[in-house]
């Protein structure tokens, strides 16, 4: 009831504020025709401030343009520079990236011409941030390099400090915590020496603390919070508190809680989280989300798992608006999985671990690392180009000198006596013998390489022989399957076993690729055939395979997701068990839908799990399609995935001719989508249809 009253009061305050702002704006509009000089500029400035309290972006742009036009008309260069910088900030806050790209450089030129250096470097920082969070990392790095060199040339400490700050954000966004921490540290060292200290230090402290938490540098994090508190205390001795004060102190208390949690000081962590909760208002959604996460983390570490789950439940309900931020989703799901595992709810924990695995599998952090390595010299790209040019010049001189020296030596030896020629001849023979030896070694290496390639081809042939290449020819069954490894040997599998009118079938995807995955696949395939021959139900087969593949013998921690089914060809009745695999698709007239399934864990993760089976009454006349994620997650050169949506659309709209035709058609669609890109995963498909 109190919460409801609070919401009502806040709503009334908001409506009252909106009415007051509207009245003030209308009053200013009436006065503007009668104002001149600095008073007219002040009126337009106030109108723009009032417009920010609305959601009308067009109106906000009109107000800032009116202010900009008036400052330009009056020739007030300082006010015009300030208006230009604020317009770029408006573009940034409203995600108008194209406008930022178009107008930042003219704005920088104007600000430099009037020597407004703080606005100048703040505006440049916005351009770097825009490129960074738009995924244009290389462009962001080039811009921040140019920004740093500019500030260094002007000996502007504020500009250099902000450049290091922007560089830290780029590295943090690309998960390179080591470089991010180094950049933030340099930024703080420079900006803390400026008088007065810039308020941007609050953001830098907050981002730096997050990076230190990722690195588990909790002692360093604790020391940094002391420096942060000193800065905030000094800053608010000379500045009035504003609407951001509670937020800035809230992030400080959060960092203190992070450090205390890492150092197992639970009493301090709880005290800091309570301070955060009392300081921050209900409307500060981001800090409240962080409070819920760390409150759950504190309870989990104190082994208060039911309370931890309650806080995590509240945080999970807020994830709907963050579905695109995979890092946040992974973090919250990982916390939930740990809590469920501690509560002994292993099946639910396995479901979340499987979801985390699938999300992680789609994030290519290695490519990100490679891009950052290309720009590894922090602010030295221009210097590298100069060094490269110098190196090219040196190389040209060295080559010319070698040519001249070779000619001199040649003439010298031509003029030498026969004795010297004989010595040279002997040396030449010795060199020739060395070349022959080197050639023999090269030949041995080539033979060894060919032997390895031959062994891999044999391994591939053996692996392919373990999956069926022929399929039953019966009027009541249309069955076909295909496997295409991404490497010489792969980790996918499929199989079937027909006993009278009972058809067992399976399809699986082993974690990893290459030879280890293929060996794990061979074990799973052999176990499937053995257990199916004993006429066990699919859930029992999964349980038996899991018992055989999990435990201490599984030193690599490998696992396999698998769909296993048993269909009665007389009735069309399907028993099945899904062990963490992609949901199969059931195709009907004009529809294609994923079937709903119980979430079982992948096979091989935990021993002694009991797998649950399910059933469908009758699939007669409906194509049933099972596949590995090498199909829906197949990527082209732009790393765009084939996607579940495209797969469903194809199966829904293309007429079914046969199981073989369906699989060959999808193979062609995937190849067309890749458009020359290398396969990123094994591609395995199985299609069956029971006929009357």
CA angle 292, 92, 183 (to 5 degrees): 70
Residue-wise pLDDT tens digits, 637-647: 898 999 999 99
Rounded Cα–Cα distance for residues 350 and 619 (Å): 29
Nearest CA to 565 out of 536, 587, 591, 589 is that of 536
Residue 22, pLDDT > 90, answer no
| Per-residue confidence (pLDDT) for residue 129, from 0 to 100 | 92
What mean pLDDT do residues 330-341 have? 88
Question: In this prediction, what percent of the chain has a pLDDT beyond 70?
Answer: 80
- CB of 507 within 8 A of CB of 494? yes
Tokens of 468: 């069926």
Domain locations in the chain as residue ranges: 1-115, 470-690
| Per-residue confidence (pLDDT) for residue 374, from 0 to 100 | 40
DSSP state of 596: P
User: How does residue 473 score in pLDDT terms, banded at 50, 70 and 90?
Assistant: very high
Phi/psi of residue 576, nearest 5 degrees: -150, 165
Look-up of token digits 């499987």: 354
| Average pLDDT of the chain, as a whole number | 83
Residue 180, pLDDT > 70, answer yes
Bond before 196 cis per omega within 30 degrees: yes
| Per-residue confidence (pLDDT) for residue 682, from 0 to 100 | 86
- CB of 492 within 8 A of CB of 521? yes
Q: Which CATH architecture has domain 470-690?
A: 4-Layer Sandwich (3.60)
Look-up of token digits 């800065």: 231
| Per-residue confidence (pLDDT) for residue 520, from 0 to 100 | 82
What mean pLDDT do residues 23-29 have? 84
In this structure, is the dihedral angle defined by the CA atoms of residues 657, 659, 662 and 664, taken in order, positive or negative? negative
DSSP readout, 292-356?
Answer: HHHHHHHHHHTT-HHHHHHHHHHHHTTGGGGTT-HHHHHHHHHHHHHHHHHTT-HHHHHHHHHHH
Residue-wise pLDDT tens digits, 233-254: 888 888 777 778 888 888 999 9
Rounded Cα–Cα distance for residues 147 and 386 (Å): 18
What mean pLDDT do residues 398-407 have? 64
Rounded Cα–Cα distance for residues 115 and 265 (Å): 50
Residue 453, pLDDT > 60, answer no
Residue 13, pLDDT > 50, answer no
Residue-wise pLDDT tens digits, 78-95: 999 999 999 999 999 989
Residues in the chain: 692
Rounded Cα–Cα distance for residues 141 and 176 (Å): 14
Phi/psi of residue 502, nearest 5 degrees: -110, 115
Residue 19, pLDDT > 60, answer no
Left (φ > 0), alpha (ψ -120 to 50) or beta: where does 572 sit?
Answer: left
Residue 305, pLDDT > 80, answer yes
CA atoms within 13 A on the CB side of 555: 1
């Amino acid at each position: 009831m109190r919460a409801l009253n609070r919401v009502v009061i806040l709503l009334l305050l908001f409506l009252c504020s909106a009415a007051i702002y509207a009245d003030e704006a209308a009053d200013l509009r009436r006065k503007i025709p009668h104002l001149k000089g600095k008073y007219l500029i002040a009126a337009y400035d106030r109108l723009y401030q009032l417009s920010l309290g609305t959601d009308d972006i067009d109106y906000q742009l009109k107000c800032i343009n009116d202010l900009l036009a008036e400052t330009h008309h009056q020739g007030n260069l300082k006010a015009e520079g300030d208006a230009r910088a604020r317009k770029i900030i408006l573009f940034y806050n409203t995600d108008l990236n194209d406008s930022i790209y178009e107008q930042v450089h003219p704005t920088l030129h104007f600000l430099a011409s009037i020597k407004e250096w703080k606005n100048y470097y703040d505006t440049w920082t916005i351009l770097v941030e825009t490129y960074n969070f738009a995924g244009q990392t290389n462009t962001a790095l080039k811009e921040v390099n140019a920004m740093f060199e500019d500030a260094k040339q002007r000996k502007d400490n504020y500009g250099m400090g902000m450049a290091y700050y922007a560089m830290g954000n780029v590295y943090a966004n690309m998960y390179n915590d080591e470089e991010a921490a180094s950049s933030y540290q340099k930024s703080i060292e420079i900006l803390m020496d400026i008088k007065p200290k810039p308020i941007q230090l609050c953001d830098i402290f907050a981002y730096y603390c997050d990076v230190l938490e990722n690195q588990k540098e909790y002692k360093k994090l604790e020391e940094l919070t002391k420096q942060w508190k000193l800065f905030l205390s000094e800053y608010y001795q000379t500045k009035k508190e504003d609407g951001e004060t509670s937020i800035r102190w809230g992030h400080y208390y959060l960092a203190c809680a992070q450090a205390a949690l890492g150092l197992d000081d639970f009493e301090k962590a709880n005290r800091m989280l309570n301070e955060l909760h009392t300081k921050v208002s209900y409307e500060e959604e981001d800090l409240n989300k962080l409070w819920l996460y760390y409150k759950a983390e504190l309870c989990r570490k104190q082994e208060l798992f039911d309370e931890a789950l309650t806080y995590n439940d509240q945080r999970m309900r807020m994830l709907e608006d963050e579905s695109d931020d995979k890092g946040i989703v992974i973090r919250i799901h990982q916390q939930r999985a740990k809590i469920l595992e501690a509560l002994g709810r292993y099946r639910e924990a396995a479901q979340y671990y499987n979801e985390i695995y699938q999300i992680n599998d789609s994030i290519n952090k290695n490519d990100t690392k490679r891009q950052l390595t290309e720009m590894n010299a922090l602010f030295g790209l221009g210097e590298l180009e100069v060094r490269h040019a110098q190196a090219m010049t040196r190389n040209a001189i060295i080559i010319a000198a070698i040519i001249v020296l070779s000619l001199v030596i040649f003439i010298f030896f031509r003029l030498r006596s026969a004795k010297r020629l004989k010595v040279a001849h002997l040396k030449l023979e010795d060199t020739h013998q060395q070349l022959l030896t080197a050639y023999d070694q090269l030949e041995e290496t080539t033979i060894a390489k060919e032997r390895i390639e031959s062994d891999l081809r044999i391994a591939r042939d053996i692996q392919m022989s373990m999956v069926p290449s022929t399929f039953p020819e019966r009027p009541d069954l249309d069955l076909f399957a295909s496997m295409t490894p991404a490497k010489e040997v792969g980790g996918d599998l499929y199989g079937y076993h027909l006993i009278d009118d009972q058809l067992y079938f399976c399809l699986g995807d082993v974690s990893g690729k290459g030879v280890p995955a293929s060996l794990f696949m061979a074990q799973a395939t052999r176990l499937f055939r053995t257990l199916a021959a004993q006429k066990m139900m699919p859930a029992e087969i999964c349980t038996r395979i899991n018992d055989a593949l999990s435990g201490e013998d599984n030193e690599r921690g490998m696992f396999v997701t698998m769909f296993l089914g048993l269909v009665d060809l007389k009735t069309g009745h399907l028993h099945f068990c899904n062990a963490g695999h992609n949901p199969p698709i059931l195709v009907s007239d004009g529809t294609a839908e994923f079937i709903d399934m119980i979430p079982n864990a992948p096979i091989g993760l935990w021993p002694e799990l009991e797998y649950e089976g399910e059933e469908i009454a009758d699939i007669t006349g409906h194509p049933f399609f099972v596949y590995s994620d090498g199909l829906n997650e197949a990527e082209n050169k732009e790393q765009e995935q084939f996607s579940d949506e495209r797969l469903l659309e194809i199966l829904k709209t293309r007429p079914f001719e046969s199981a073989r035709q369906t699989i060959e058609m999808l193979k062609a669609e995937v190849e067309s989508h890749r458009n020359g890109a290398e396969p990123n995963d094994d591609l395995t498909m199985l299609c069956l249809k029971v006929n009357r």
